[in-house]
Amino acid sequence: MFCVTMARGAGVGSMRSMILAGFAGLALLGLAACATPSVYAPQTSSNSEGYADRQLASNRFRVSFHGNSVTSREMVEDYLLRRAAEVTLQAGYVAFMFDHRDTKTKTRYTTDFMGWPGWGGYGGWYWHDWDFDATADSRPITSYSAYAEITTLKEEDARHQPTALNAQDVLNHLGPLPPPPKS
C-alpha cells in the first residue's frame, strides 16, 4: 500500500522501480500492523503520547493524556482518570472533583494508492486529493486527547461534595495497568 499519489505527467518508471515501490509499500503496511496503544507514561514532549499535569493553585491541577491512533477513547479517558487520582494522592489529598473535562478527537485521512491498470511505474510521488475511483481508498486515522482541571479535596471537604471522587477508590476500580508492549 502506498500513502501517496502519482503526479500527472510524471515519467514512466521501470519494472524494477515498480517492484521496489511495492516492497516499500509492504514495509509500511508491516510497520502499521505493529502499532500498539499508548503506554501510560509521562509525555516526553508537548506533542508526544502520554500524560502531563501542572499545578495551578495549592489544590487545583490540570491533567491530560494524549493517545495514539490505536489507543481507544475509553482507554485515553481511563488514563486521564488514573492520572487525576494519582496527582490527588501525591499532593496529599484524598478526593478530587472535575471542574472541567473534555476529550478532543483528531482525525486525519490517508489515501492508499495502488495505481491503475497498465500503469508502468511510479514517477514523481507526492500527496494529492485526486479522485481515482476504485484505485484509491481513503481511511480515517483518529487519536484522542483528554484534558481536565481538577480540584483536590481533604476528606472533610469531600464529604460535602456529592460529585467528589475518592482517589484511592478510583485507582482500585481501574485496576492495574496493562503490561507494556514487548519490543
The structure's pTM equals 0.70
pLDDT greater than 70 at residue 114 = no
Specify the pLDDT at position 168: 98
Specify the pLDDT at position 3: 40
Specify the pLDDT at position 50: 97
Domain ranges in the chain are 5-174
Specify the pLDDT at position 178: 80
In 3D, which of 181, 177, 182 has the Cα closest to residue 51?
A: 177
Specify the pLDDT at position 143: 95
Specify the pLDDT at position 75: 96
**Per-residue confidence band for 130, with pLDDT thresholds at 50, 70 and 90:** low
Specify the pLDDT at position 113: 59
Please state, in angstroms and as integers, the Cα–Cα distance from residue 121 to each residue in 1, 142, 144, following that order.
14, 32, 38
